[in-house]
Amino acid sequence: MQLGFLFLFLLLMYVVQRFWFVHTWRAIETLTLGTWRHSLQALLVGAAVLLLLATLDPIFKLFPRAWGGAWVLAVCRLWLVASLFGFLAVRSVQALNRLTETGSRLLPPARLARFDPARRAFFRYAAYLAGGAPILAAGYGFAAERLKYRIVKVEVPIAGLPPRLDGMRIVQLSDIHAGDFMPRAEVRRAVEMANQLGADLAVVTGDFISDSRDPLEDCITELSALRAPLGAWGCNGNHEIYAQVEDRSQKLFEQNGMRLLRQESVELRYQGEKFNLIGVDYQRDHMTSGPRGPMLADIPHLVRRDVPNILLSHNPNSFHRAAELGIELSLAGHTHGGQVKVEVVDHTITPARLVTDFVAGLYHLPMGNSSGSNGHGGRQASLYVNRGLGTFGFPVRLGVPPEITLLTLRCT
């Protein structure tokens, strides 16, 4: 299955890049000065080779981090994504052009002679605009929106919440992805903004880095500056698995005065009232290779019935099982809110919908089984999915600004 998707992806990339390469080559051939023409053609061939290497880099790790390799790879990936949407936009304009051309044949010859040149000019410029818009949008998403941190304040109603826990505030960071495009200074800025919210509890729900070449120690050192009376807590994400740093992350948390929860829980107190904080490593599903058992298989014994439970689980797809277990509140990340979001009429289009129903924001499910029984009295479990700070794949955010969340627990 994965090989099939890889083949289709590579085929699509070939079709798209061939489209742009051929059109650019033809434009260069119109130049009369031979030196410029040959130089630009050589540059175009070199760019095509770089794009091929960038497409294969996730598999073979072809780009070194040194000597600006990360930036070259980022530019290539930006082009791959923008050129795909530009290709689709241009083809859409061309299809509409063909439809109008078919309809224009019904016009009288005299009127058709006046209509055709204007129609062709309109669709030619429309194709230029449609093809260029995704490229400009990608540039904006890279240069501006990915660094515009947004504070999101959410009130979370929890049935049966003890009155003393009403108003308890939790600040959540997620998906830091520290590295070339999330430098240490930016992590520090996010932590300072989080501290200004004056939360009672601070949590970080995974993906501190993207791969083993990223500065994990720098990231966790900056996160250790989080200040909250009940401490700073975290869980591992899927990229800690990929980088094989789950154990190291745990040790770095401990060395920096925090705690990373791995299939374990801790009892905390707020205004004299107890609650149970549970943390798990990334819960594998269709997005990762490796062993996949039932979600949250190792924690049923950690769930308490005498106090409220809060779960830190990077993968929001664990929410179904968490609700069945009677966990009142789950905090997750992982999706980046799709990283790119487009609003079409009243529908939201984002890549994250391909892998989860829980893209971003607050969700509810019946606690216990689907009928809300199992002794939970029809109460609802809640999930909040943080949109993350960093980026992965390509350093762009469009319509999904990086997020620092302040959650306030409320009795219902």
Q: What is the pLDDT of residues 176-209, one digit of tens each?
A: 999 999 999 999 999 999 999 999 999 999 999 9
pLDDT at residue 367, as a whole number: 93
The residue ranges of the chain whose pLDDT is under 50 are 288, 371-373
What contacts 17, CB < 8 A, 6 or more positions away? 48, 51, 80, 83
pTM of the full predicted structure? 0.88
* DSSP states along 264-310: EEEEEEETTEEEEEEE------TTS-S---STTTT-GGG--SSS-EE
Please give the CATH superfamily to which domain 149-411 belongs: Metallo-dependent phosphatases (3.60.21.10)
Share of the chain above pLDDT 70, in %: 92
Q: What is the pLDDT of residues 59-84, one digit of tens each?
A: 788 888 777 888 899 999 899 989 99
Contact between 297 and 285 under an 8 Å Cβ cutoff? The reply is: no
**What CA–CA distance (Å, rounded) separates 358 from 283?**
15
pLDDT at residue 371, as a whole number: 44
Single-letter amino acid code for the residue at 128 = Y
Closest CA relative to residue 360, chosen from 388, 397, 390? 388
Q: What is the pLDDT of residues 279-325, one digit of tens each?
A: 999 998 855 455 556 899 999 999 999 999 999 999 999 999 999 99
Contact between 331 and 170 under an 8 Å Cβ cutoff? The reply is: yes
Range(s) for CATH 3.60.21.10 in the chain?
A: 149-411
What contacts 314, CB < 8 A, 6 or more positions away? 174, 205, 206, 207, 235, 236, 237, 238, 282, 283, 332, 333, 334
pLDDT at residue 341, as a whole number: 87
pLDDT at residue 312, as a whole number: 98
φ/ψ of residue 118, rounded to 5: -65, -40
